[in-house]
Amino acid sequence: MSTTPRKMLTIVVESVLERAVVEALQRARVSGFTTVEARGFGEHGLRQGDWDESRSVRIETICTPETAAKLAHGLLDRFGKDYALVLWLQDVEVVRAGKFEAAADDG
């Protein structure tokens, strides 16, 4: 079985920023992403998600190392000072590498 190295960017952020993060991923032309609700405890306290202002989401995408780094830096610069935001990168090996190519430009 053949694999291809990629980076997985994981973003945990206040749900109010979900749309902005998704738009950044789309502008970067990632091939896809997964979003789930997240709960936990950290620097910004307990985030149980039992009311809209305390909800967080976890968004993951797999892309090239260059795209992942650019996205991480851009999101941190834009939102890191004012919002609950945690980012991490992981090396991954993907099967079916074509599933993780940049999305085609529609224009």
Find the DSSP H helices in 1-100.
Answer: 18-27, 65-79
Domain holding 59, by residue range, is 4-100
The tens-digit pLDDT sequence of the chain (107 residues) is: 899 999 999 999 989 999 999 999 999 999 999 999 988 777 666 655 555 566 889 999 999 999 999 999 999 999 999 988 999 999 999 998 777 777 655 44
Q: In this structure, is residue 107 part of a structural domain?
A: no
Looking at the structure of the chain, the number of domains it has is 1
Q: In this structure, is residue 106 part of a structural domain?
A: no
Q: What are the distances in angstroms from CA 97 to CA 2, 15, 57, 63, 93?
A: 9, 30, 26, 10, 9
CATH assignment at residue 52: 3.30.70.120
Q: In this structure, is residue 105 part of a structural domain?
A: no
Q: In this structure, is residue 29 part of a structural domain?
A: yes
Check: CB of residue 100 under 8 Å from CB of residue 44: no
